[in-house]
Amino acid sequence: MSNGNNSESGESRPSNFIRDAVIDDLKTKKFGEATIQTRFPPEPNGYLHIGHAKSICLNFGLAAEFGGKTNLRFDDTNPEKEEQEYVDSITQDVHWLGFNWDGLHYASDYFDQLCDWAVKLIGDGKAYVDDLSADEIRKHRGTLTEPGKDSPFRNRDAKENLNLFERMRKGEFPDGSRVLRAKIDMASPNLNMRDPVMYRILRADHHRTGSKWCIYPMYDFAHGQSDSIERVTHSVCTLEFEDHRPLYNWFIQQLGIFPSQQMEFDRLNLTFTLLSKRKLLKLVQEKYVSGWDDPRMPTLSGVRRRGYTPQSIRNFCGAIGVSKTNGTLDLAMLEHFVREDLNKRAPRVMAVLRPLKVVIDNFPDAEVDQVDAINNPEDESAGKRTVPFSKVLYIEQDDFREVPPKQYYRLSPGREVRLRYGYFITAQSVVKNEKGDVVEVHCTYDPATRGGNSPDGRKVKSTIHWVSSAHAVDAEVRLYDKLFTVEDPDRTEEGHDFTANLNPNSLEVISQAKLEPSLASAMNGEKYQFERLGYFCVDPDSKVGNLVFNRTVALKDSWARVQKRS
RNA sequence: UGGGCCGUCGACUAAUGGUAGGUCAAGUGCCUUUGGAGCACUUUGUCUAGGUUCGAAUCCUAGCGGCCCAGCCA
């Protein structure tokens, strides 16, 4: 059996170890009669990317399947890196992906409660104020192989600690001069348990609480308790937090609060792409890309602008599975799901990126023939449109070869091809410029083949797209390629970082593409298939009269494979 | 090197002691008014060595390999 659960409807759903655990917990009523509660907890210090989409789909998907709820919670405990711009983009991106949260929370909503809990732990002798500097604390922590040493301040009594902590909160001490630490075990083989810092003194304006606080809780002292406050049953996070789980549990246990349960799964990695906020931020700040929403970025705002649909990303996330194996997914997998979705929904149009003029010598000079074209062969309800056909047309430069290579089926002297939805034409002669490049092809057409079929049953090997010269609409088209030239952008020679692997040709701008006239009023965000070329969408930079399209993804190209083989 | 986690087709992921299956990629053929889409077929896999068992990808032991941890980041 390839799936964990065949429901009565016959629908089957791929399972994973987290979903299995949820099913089991529900069966054993581990959390009582209540159903599950999940959460998506981003830190608002950057834009969401495809990797976050996996977590979002997991958290919201789990709750949706079992009738539970999902909160969006901002883990905003480090004001130095966090901004309102990021919370705005994150809420927008989660919505765009297609999810609606139940509760919208901020760790900063819990600062008072967290502070009270810190006081309780101090009173219980489970936390102490340490006057050691950051540097000294590091030295006392020991190493991977050697145990740590107790701080000289570890055995202060509760009363003194209470007093000191209160004064920390009131702002009596300078930044970094003291911290509050949990009193656990300086010899623990798990470094996270060697008296972790709970609070630090930090005078930084917080995007929500302003200057109210000058002490801020660390992730470890905020995350589990925030989960607990929200009665999160299954707190899923990525693998690097596995070592934090004992600490997560320790705080919950000491405090005697709702036992949220942390479970870890593998982070998404993709070939040819970087999914690290820090590195993406560098690309933005150092202007290797135009912004967080540059269509080459793996951010949700980037892929949205690129033309990816939320459905395609959800399908992708559902298909890639959830495990604890550390692997790297083939970017082709993502592209497959984008093509699959766009194939169903994108109307077909004709557009010529690199125009070559074709003159049909025997076609009447002034005649315009409106030919019928099908909008989407995958969707009959998309209907039909007409496209103007006339004596002078543009075809793709690639679709004509004066000397055709082997297996080249397109237009060449003496060969007949079909102009899609138009007529059969045969190339007769060429006009060249002074450099010897073909700049014009003269053809004849067969009037009997209107619509694309020959009454005598004659076949042609190839069908090519075209645009009527007199009716064409000009547009800028931006072609994107991989941002990095190598599968693993982090793999570099000594002394270089990932920017050394940037693809210098990741953006190609075509300024004067020729589009069929139906595209003249195309609106921002609209998605099309340019026949034989790929999927394209209207960029926000686009204006009527000054159209801009982004190539989302090219169509699969078996001619390219033939060429590569020979 | 102490601790934690993980090793299944090229990639991702199932098989929960009982037929190693699916998706992507690759390839072959069919079909085609997109060299698109679709359809059919094909190739390749349980890290190694022992052990337990009627039976092991699954359990045990030992190796080997990978990832994470020594922030007052998350």
Task: Tell me: do A248 and A355 sit in the same domain.
Answer: no
Position A75 in a domain: yes
- Residue A562 sits at φ, ψ, to 5 deg, of -60, -45
CA–CA gap between residue A553 and residue A550 (Å, rounded) = 9
CA of residue A478 to C1' of nucleotide B66, angstroms: 39
Residue A270 lies in a domain: no
Mean pLDDT of A275-287: 96
CA nearest to nucleotide B27 C1': residue: A561
Please check whether residues A68 and A202 belong to one and the same domain: yes
By percentage, how much of chain A surpasses pLDDT 90? 95
Q: Which amino acid is at A183?
A: K
A385 falls within a domain: yes
User: A360 and A330 in one domain?
Assistant: no
Nucleotide with minimal C1' distance from the CA of A320 is: B12
**For A315-326, b where at least 16 C-beta lie within 10 A, e where not — what string?**
bbbbebebeeee
Q: Gap from A186 CA to B62 C1', in Å?
A: 32
Find the Å distance, CA of residue A102 to C1' of nucleotide B16: 33
What CA–CA distances, in Å, run from A408 to A405, A411, A417, A444, A469? 6, 9, 12, 20, 25
For A517-546, what is the mean pLDDT?
Answer: 97
Per DSSP, the three-state class of A433 is coil
Nucleotide nearest to A459 (CA to C1'): B33
Distance, Å, A10 CA → B13 C1': 21
As a dihedral over the C-alpha atoms of residue A292, residue A296, residue A299, residue A304, rounded to 10 degrees, the angle is: 100
pLDDT for the residue A13: 63
Same domain flag for A464 and A500: no
Q: B22 C1' – A7 CA distance, angstroms? A: 18
**Residue range A291-347, pLDDT digits in tens:** 999 999 999 999 999 999 999 999 999 999 999 999 999 999 999 999 999 999 999
Q: Residue A11: is its pLDDT beyond 60?
A: no
Work out whether strand A348-349 and strand A527-530 pair parallel, antiparallel, or are unpaired.
Answer: parallel
Q: How far is the CA of A364 from the C1' of B37 (A)?
A: 35
pLDDT of the residue at A8: 29
Among A453, A472, A491, the domain-final residue is: A472
Nearest residue to B22 (CA, C1')? A2
Q: Is A83 among the domain residues?
A: yes
Protein CA at A197 to nucleotide C1' at B61, angstroms:
40
pTM of this structure: 0.96
Question: Which domain covers residue A408, as residue numbers?
Answer: 351-472
Residue nearest to nucleotide B70 (CA to C1'): A143
**In the complex, which nucleotide's C1' lies nearest to the CA atom of residue A340?**
B37
By annotation, the residues of A acting in catalysis are 43, 267, 277
Within A404-522, residue ranges assigned H as helices are: none
Q: Are residues A338 and A451 in the same domain?
A: no
Q: A448 and A300: one domain?
A: no
Q: Assess whether A299 and A175 both reside in one domain.
A: no
Our measurement of CA A161 to C1' B36, in angstroms, reads 71
Domain boundary among A472, A504, A530: A472
Tell me which residue of A481, A485, A477, A502 sits closest to A553, measured CA to CA. Answer: A481
Of the pLDDT bands very low, low, confident and very high (cuts 50, 70, 90), residue A25 is: very high
With distances taken from each CA to the C1' atom of nucleotide B21, the closest residue turns out to be A2
Nucleotide nearest to A77 (CA to C1'): B74
Quote the CA–CA distance of A492 and A447 in Å, as a whole number.
Answer: 60
If asked whether residues A330 and A463 sit together in one domain, one would say no
In the structure, what pLDDT confidence band is assigned to residue A565 with cuts at 50, 70 and 90? Answer: confident
Give how many domains chain A has, as a whole number: 3
Q: Is residue A113 part of a domain?
A: yes
pLDDT at A12: 52
Per the domain annotation, does A556 fall within a domain?
Answer: yes
Residue A5 lies in a domain: no
Q: Which nucleotide is nearest to A344 (CA to C1')?
A: B37
Question: Which tens digit of pLDDT belongs to each residue from A410-426?
Answer: 999 999 999 999 999 99
Same domain, A397 and A494: no
Decide if A230 is inside a domain.
yes
A50 and A163, same structural domain?
Answer: yes
Q: Which residues are CB-neighbours of A334 under 8 A, at least 6 positions away? A: A50, A270, A316
Closest C1' nucleotide to A409's CA: B35
- Residue A267: band (very low, low, confident or very high) from pLDDT cuts 50, 70, 90: very high
Are A386 and A397 members of one domain? yes
pLDDT over 90 at A24, yes or no: yes
Q: Which of A552, A543, A500 is nearest to A521 (CA)?
A: A543
Predicted pLDDT of residue A256: 98
Of A429, A455, A472, the domain-final residue = A472
Q: Are residues A77 and A149 in the same domain?
A: yes
Kindly report the bases of strand B lying within 7 A of a protein C-beta atom: 1-8, 10-16, 21-27, 33-38, 66-74
Instruction: For residue A356, give the CATH number of its domain.
Output: 2.40.240.10
What's the pLDDT band for A469 if we cut at 50, 70, 90? Answer: very high
Residue A151 CA: distances (Å) to CA of A125, A137, A399, A443, A462: 15, 8, 76, 89, 79
**Nearest residue: Cα versus C1' of B3:** A189
- The ipTM assigned to this model is 0.96
